[in-house]
Amino acid sequence: MDHFEIAIVGAGLAGSLAALALADSGRSVVLIAPAPGRPDGRTTALMDHSLDLVRRLGLWERIEPLAAPLATMRIIDGTDRLLRAPTVTFHAAEVGLDAFGYNIPNTPFLALLEKEAETRPSLVRIIASLSQIEIDAKRATLKLDDGRIVTADLVLGADGRKSAVRAAAGIDVHSWSYPQTAVVLNFAHQMPHQNISTEFHTPDGPFTQVPLPGSRSSLVWVQKPDAAAATLALSAEELSLAVERRMQSILGKVTVEGTAQSFPLSGMAARAFGKQRTILIGEAAHAFPPIGAQGLNLSLRDIMAASALLSDLPVIPADFGARYDRRRRTDVLTRTFSVDLLNRSLLSELLPVQLLRAAGLQALASVPLLRNLMMHEGLNPGSALQTLRSSLQEKIGWQRA
């Protein structure tokens, strides 16, 4: 029976990055998950604050050739409603950055993390599934489907929405569904994207183009389930034309690559993000629609919070889960509520809701300070108030001078 300080269950992007970060902090770590399944055709947009962790792990030089910078982010009202919002454009240069972040294909990103895990002497990778887990005040005991038994001082659940770790810890969830399905694909296009990501807000949900290296982009097209099924049934030529038309031909002729995938949309938040010797990250803790590139960025903040808490503790205490829960609660619930509210505002046919949404985007388009605050908050949650305070202090100082 092998013992580790930390056992991580789930080797997706969140679990793999957590394993590397915690191993680099000097902890003994075991990463438990079956072999990767089918290739993941999605991409992940990592914002600037999240990239700090990737750089600290020494991964950026190998990831950068796979990634495309997001220098500009644009929101276009793609509805035909009476109250249409103006186009809002966010430039990274406005907040002193070359790019808000970078868009990275998931499949090569995961392959890189798998290889990197082999280079950490304090990290053991076990290719197996979790059969049973028992957690008490002293330790967690994990029984695997290959017969092995592992014990740990702390279990980190990164095993997705149906988390076995979460269930074993007795943590309930609040979940909800949306009448939406996300169609995900990559495509080549005739005109350069100029490192601009464009999110069309449609009555059925966002249609989001995100740059990839070269004249290529990734797409998340949120539709009603019947419409998504019809989209997936199109031939390659028909699908390419449908994407081009939905994009208003701003990138010229479109050629869809490979096979499109689909994912029904739902939301979920754990009732607690940690309990006793268990903590949850990624979609074991929270999940919501793909709006504003918030998903994995929130997961990386989970990892950074766990690392920060552990850095002050030579021995992992029995109440670590409760400490982590207190640290993460405000950030996770605020982000979940914000994304849910924005998504529901797109679906609402109520005129007052449409008016509020249009007015909000109008304010962002016309008030530079407000737009600046929103960009800072999107990059680094909690920083908007600090930025506002600094701006006011500069203004007061200039007036006095």
In this structure, what CATH number is given to the domain that contains residue 301?
3.50.50.60
**What is the domain extent for residue 18?**
2-60+106-175+267-344
304 touches 17 (CB < 8 A): no
> Tens digits of per-residue pLDDT, 186-240?
999 999 999 999 989 888 888 999 999 999 999 999 999 999 999 999 999 999 9
> Tens digits of per-residue pLDDT, 10-32?
999 999 999 999 999 999 999 99
Q: What does the pLDDT average to over 379-393?
A: 51
List the structure tokens of 183.
């169609």
* pTM for the model: 0.86
**What is the predicted pLDDT for the residue at 49?**
84
Residues 209 and 260 in one domain: yes
Q: Domain count for the chain, please give it.
A: 2
Residues 296 and 165 in one domain: yes
Pairwise pLDDT comparison (34 vs 80), residue with the higher score: 34
The dihedral through the CA atoms of 27, 30, 36, 37 has a sign that is negative
Cα–Cα distance for residue pair 169/270, rounded to 1 Å = 11
Q: What does the pLDDT average to over 46-61?
A: 91
Residue type at position 303: I
Q: What does the pLDDT average to over 258-280?
A: 94
Q: What does the pLDDT average to over 272-286?
A: 96
* Residue 367 included in any domain: no
List the structure tokens of 377.
């908050």
Boundary-marking domain end, from 319, 344, 369? 344
In this structure, what CATH number is given to the domain that contains residue 208?
3.30.9.10
Q: Inform me whether the pLDDT recorded for 247 exceeds 60.
A: yes
**What is the greatest pairwise CA distance in the chain?**
74
List the structure tokens of 378.
């999107």
* Residue 122 included in any domain: yes
* Residue 295 included in any domain: yes
**What is the predicted pLDDT for the residue at 396?**
46
Determine which of 123-132, 311-320, 384-393 has the lowest per-residue pLDDT on average: 384-393
Cα–Cα distance for residue pair 54/49, rounded to 1 Å = 10
Cα–Cα distance for residue pair 365/375, rounded to 1 Å = 12
> Tens digits of per-residue pLDDT, 155-191?
999 999 999 999 999 999 999 988 999 999 999 999 9
Boundary-marking domain end, from 206, 240, 265? 265
List the structure tokens of 355.
């008016």
Residues 37 and 8 in one domain: yes
The dihedral through the CA atoms of 47, 49, 50, 54 has a sign that is positive
